[in-house]
Structure 1
Amino acid sequence: MSITINAIMRKDQGKGASRRLRHQEQVPAIVYGAGKEPSAITLNVHEIGHLLENEEAYTSVLDLAIDTKVEPVIIKDLQRHPAKNLVTHVDFLRVDMKKEIATSIPLHFMGEEDNEAMRLGAILNQFVTAIEVSCLPANLPHTIEVDISNLAMDEHISLTGLVMPKGVTITALTHGDIEAHDQSVVAVQEPRLMAEKEVVDSEGEEGAGDKVEGGDDKPEGDSE
């Protein structure tokens, strides 16, 4: 089932224009990618808010209708008001349905109630909650299921142990040295061992400086 979001083109840009739009219950947004010029657009705050109540919207190819033109996009980034939880800006990335895209997909851990070790008091430690995958837009999964029902005490599942849908690849495992990138995703551990690991991790983080991560090559937005 396709999901459509309506938008209109806009000419006014900048923080002042964005504030005026929000007072009018409109949300500034931008759509870019696929070798085309970026377009500044406006969304209805109620429509985009209702759309995002459906979690599948974050991992679906959407039909973005700008005036009379419709093009496939995915949500690449969005910002919310820190107090009101209203959407304040959205970045859409155009997609070519014939070319693979890379995007983050959440992990869904299942079988916890059937895990014998956890029934006896073991703790589930989730190291990763989402992974970046590469696939054709038509194959884009909404979640990656991780079955932990048979995971015994001190056992773990790594990236190479995930069961991936057909046509979907974990991008971290495409860089040549698979062992170097094959990180643990989830483990069943004794509570004491898990507490000790958390202490070690917190001590290792002390004194670390702020780290800036690189993002996609996209145009400057007009969000605040």
Structure 2
Amino acid sequence: MAVINARTRYGTGKGVARKLRREGALPAVLYGAGQANINLSLNAKEWEDLLAREKSGLRTHPQELVIDGSNRNMVMMRGYQVHPLSGLAEHVDFVRFDPNHEIEIAIPIHLVGEDKCPGVKAGGILQIIHRELDIACLAGNVPDYIEVSVAKLDIGHSIHIQDVKLPDGVEARGEEDMTIVTVVAVRAEVVDEGAAG
């Protein structure tokens, strides 16, 4: 569990946010659990270091958010906005964590068995349609990722949401027939040698 230090932020709007970023801070907000929202600021460098270290764990596991050095909250990162050009964080949303409350969250899909995939061995291409899966479960039971095996996938075959085995207490959100991954054939271009001359 990571410890995230934050300060109470007074004032809102684009002007305030720009000023914070110029000062090396990052706007954030804490909400949920029927309590009032709290506007926050984080140290931008500390946040980027934390992201590099924790990766998707920030979204799937509870973290401790310490506000003004003493107000401790169990939270999960709910939203994260980045600048389209720099790739640096622009805003972070945290939601208060209640392990007995059901939440909806997107978690990573990890493909396994690619080296055994008969469709790829036959010259097909593994086409990944979705890299994340929207799920619903108790906040205390969020898995790190969902594992999907492609070890038996042939050319022209796909894996859909209903084909994926989920942990107990975890439900997929979205259309049941939504394709996660498929193996497609490579189309060979036929060149007319007469026309080419």
Please list, as runs of the form range in 1=range in 2, the aligned pairs for 1:17-166 lying within 5 A after superposition. 17-53=16-52, 54-55=54-55, 56-67=57-68, 68-166=70-168
With the length of structure 2 as denominator, give the TM-score of the two structures: 0.86
Structure 2's unaligned 5+ residue stretches are: 189-197
Q: Output one character per residue of 1:136-188: Cα deviation in whole Å (capped at 9) or x when no partner.
A: 1221112111110111222221111112122211123xxxxxxx633222112
- Structure (1/2) with the larger strand percentage: 2
Q: CA RMSD in A?
A: 1.7
Asked if 1:15 is matched to 2:14, the reply is: yes
1:32–1:93 contact (8 Å) kept in structure 2: yes
**How many residues align structurally?**
185
2:82–2:91 contact (8 Å) kept in structure 1: yes
Q: Output one character per residue of 1:101-136: Cα deviation in whole Å (capped at 9) or x when no partner.
A: 111112111111121220221111222221111111
Distance across 2 between alignment mates of 1:48 and 1:119: 42
- Structure (1/2) with the larger helix percentage: 1
Per the alignment, residue 205 of structure 1 pairs with none
With the length of structure 1 as denominator, give the TM-score of the two structures: 0.77
Per the alignment, residue 177 of structure 2 pairs with 182
- Residue 20 of structure 1 aligns to a residue in which SS? helix
Distance across 2 between alignment mates of 1:189 and 1:27: 43
1:8–1:66 contact (8 Å) kept in structure 2: yes
Structure with greater Cα Rg: 2
Distance across 2 between alignment mates of 1:58 and 1:191: 37
Amino acid at match of 2:187: R
- Residue 22 of structure 1 aligns to a residue in which SS? helix
2:28–2:93 contact (8 Å) kept in structure 1: yes
Structure 1's unaligned 5+ residue stretches are: 173-179, 194-224
Distance across 2 between alignment mates of 1:80 and 1:92: 15
